[in-house]
């Protein structure tokens, strides 16, 4: 079930056309298998897309992810990277991150260095509602407790089946926003260890240090 975009037509046309999303075939197929819980199939597709230059990383250290993006895209003013998270992720404040209900999405995509609401400042988190249909070069996706993995099955948060489908689809959107790849920040708490193991098992590399 698709998730609706929540910004207006007048604001969306102020965003550069370079940020509109056209899903690469291979990464999208990988994400579809991953979200469907088909881990063996996702793993086989991950090998192919990584070998073709699509960078997929996970980290338990948010600062490593931030530093990686700052250094990788230093001097490239046309490049965009930013923080993404599920709209039901309630732990953002624990990591010094903030989100806004009435978000200025144009500033987030088209802002300037020094603006704390600009994506590249890596301070303001946007949700699946804000980024559907748009893309950045490298998203940092903050994994939340609203999508858990247990006994080879996803357990999305939600009171109804429809809520659970929306939650799965929100992570599908988040994982398919990157042009160059994605980084998943897995919070360093014990209950998230199983998420780290899952990404590791399918071939996603741990981002342990920044670029030289």
Provide the 10 A C-beta neighbour count for residue 123: 16
Token digits of residue 66: 């931030």
Q: What is the number of helices (H) and of strands (E) in the chain?
A: 8, 9
- What is the distance in angstroms between the CA of the first residue and the CA of the last residue of the chain? 42
38-63 pLDDT, tens digit per residue, is 999 999 999 999 999 999 999 999 99
Rounded Cα–Cα distance for residues 2 and 74 (Å): 35
pTM for the predicted model, two decimal places: 0.88
Question: What is the pLDDT confidence band of residue 113, given thresholds at 50, 70 and 90?
Answer: confident
27-41 pLDDT, tens digit per residue, is 899 999 999 999 999
Provide the 10 A C-beta neighbour count for residue 163: 12
Report whether pLDDT(10) > 50.
Answer: no
């Amino acid at each position: 079930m698709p998730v609706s975009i929540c910004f207006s037509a007048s604001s969306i046309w102020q965003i550069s056309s370079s940020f509109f999303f056209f899903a690469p075939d291979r990464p999208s197929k990988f994400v579809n298998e991953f979200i469907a819980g088909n881990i063996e199939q996702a793993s086989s597709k991950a090998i192919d897309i990584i070998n073709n230059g699509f960078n997929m990383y996970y980290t338990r250290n948010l600062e490593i992810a931030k530093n990686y993006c700052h250094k990788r895209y230093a001097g490239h003013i046309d490049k965009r990277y930013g923080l993404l998270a599920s709209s039901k992720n309630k732990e953002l404040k624990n990591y010094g991150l903030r989100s806004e209900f009435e978000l200025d999405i144009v500033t987030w995509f088209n802002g300037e260095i020094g603006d704390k609401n600009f994506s590249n400042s890596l301070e303001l988190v946007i949700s699946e509602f804000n980024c559907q249909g748009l893309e950045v070069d490298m998203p940092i996706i903050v994994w939340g407790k609203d999508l858990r993995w247990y006994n080879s099955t996803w357990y999305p948060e939600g009171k109804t089946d429809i809520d659970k489908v929306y939650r799965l689809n929100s992570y599908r959107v988040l994982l398919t926003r990157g042009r160059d790849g994605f980084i998943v920040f897995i919070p360093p708490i014990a209950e998230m260890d199983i998420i780290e193991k899952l990404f590791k098992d399918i071939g996603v590399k741990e981002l342990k240090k920044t670029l030289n």
